[in-house]
Amino acid sequence: MFAAIDPWAWQPHPEVWLLIAGIVGLGFYAARVIGPKVVTPGTEVVSTRQRRFFVLGVVMLAIAADWPMHDIAEEYLYSVHMIQHLLITFFIPIFFLQATPEWLARLILGGGDQERTWLGKLAKPVVAGIIFNVLAALTHWNGIVQLSFDSGPFHYGIHLVMFSSALLMWLPVLGPLPELRLSPPAQMVYLFLMSIIPTIPAGWLTFADNPVYPAYDTIDRLWDISVVSDQQAAGFVMKVIGGFFLWGLIAIRFFRWAAAERASDMQKRIVRPLTYDDVATEFENAGPAKTEL
């Protein structure tokens, strides 16, 4: 039991500041030093859109990994813990992938045939999906939750592993390399499968009448939120917010794919008007008319 509950008491996390400073430094170095040496002269090294996604990724990472979210998630509320995991596995990886130029992704993966590199093999949809979902399931095991509650370094380590597996999981959908991305219909199936597994622990948390994780079953309750209400909120975050996000991406891909298919069909149906030159050319190719006696 905690002697006092004050989630707004500032706690410094220099390891997070060093991580964010390192990411910003690497991004600046890649864009200003490496990029101009790699891309064709006159070609844009990093687009404005990619810069904006990079800033979003850094800001979201600071929110998820630093005070107060990390401290509340680690010491008080499992629902905030789930929001933290949602940011780390869904939003932040997407932002950084969208911020990565194709030339940089090829340098990171290495080699000419990206699909044959070890990282390319891990990014295969089946492999990436299994790794991500197995790790996601393990993070809901009571022993892992207790260790995350007791140990800050272990909690950060789990986040690093989850973030890495999420990057692999999103590569077939939103990765910067076209050869590693699935076709739009396959992406929809892939995202649907990714939405199934989280419903199992989410339902378990939502419908449990008793505390699931003893680590979060403390006498002093933050903001008077009961432990059962807290874990139900965690299940809501996983099932509803996470599920709607994946289904929203499926819907976007479906409508874009359907629009592209309609445009392709319309293009095929367009018949070029018959001109005088077309008729003259046909007569010339036909030769003189044959007469029958």
Is 195 part of any domain?
Answer: yes
Six token digits for residue 52: 């904006």
Per-residue tens of pLDDT for the chain, all 293 residues:
344 457 678 889 999 999 999 999 999 999 999 999 999 888 899 999 999 999 999 999 999 999 999 989 988 899 999 999 999 999 999 999 999 999 999 898 875 565 567 887 888 999 999 999 999 989 989 999 999 888 888 988 999 999 999 999 999 999 999 989 999 999 999 999 999 988 888 888 888 889 999 989 887 788 889 999 999 999 999 989 999 999 999 999 999 999 999 988 887 776 556 677 766 777 677 666 555 54
Q: Are the C-beta atoms of 11 and 65 separated by less than 8 Å?
A: no
- Residue 94's domain comprises 14-284
Rounded Cα distance, 171 and 123, in Å: 6
Q: What is the pTM of this model?
A: 0.86
Instruction: Give the dihedral sign, CA 207/77/144/234.
Output: positive
Tally of domains in the chain = 1
Is 56 part of any domain?
Answer: yes
In terms of phi and psi (left: phi > 0; alpha: psi -120 to 50; beta: otherwise), the region of 287 is: left
Is 291 part of any domain?
Answer: no
Spatial neighbors of 149 by CB under 8 A, at least 6 apart, are 74, 75, 155, 213, 215, 216
**Inter-CA distances, 70 with 12, 56, 65, 85, 152, Å:** 11, 18, 5, 10, 9
Rounded Cα distance, 129 and 127, in Å: 6
Is 9 part of any domain?
Answer: no
Is 4 part of any domain?
Answer: no
Is 1 part of any domain?
Answer: no
- Reply yes or no: is the peptide bond before residue 68 cis, omega within 30 of 0: yes
Is 25 part of any domain?
Answer: yes
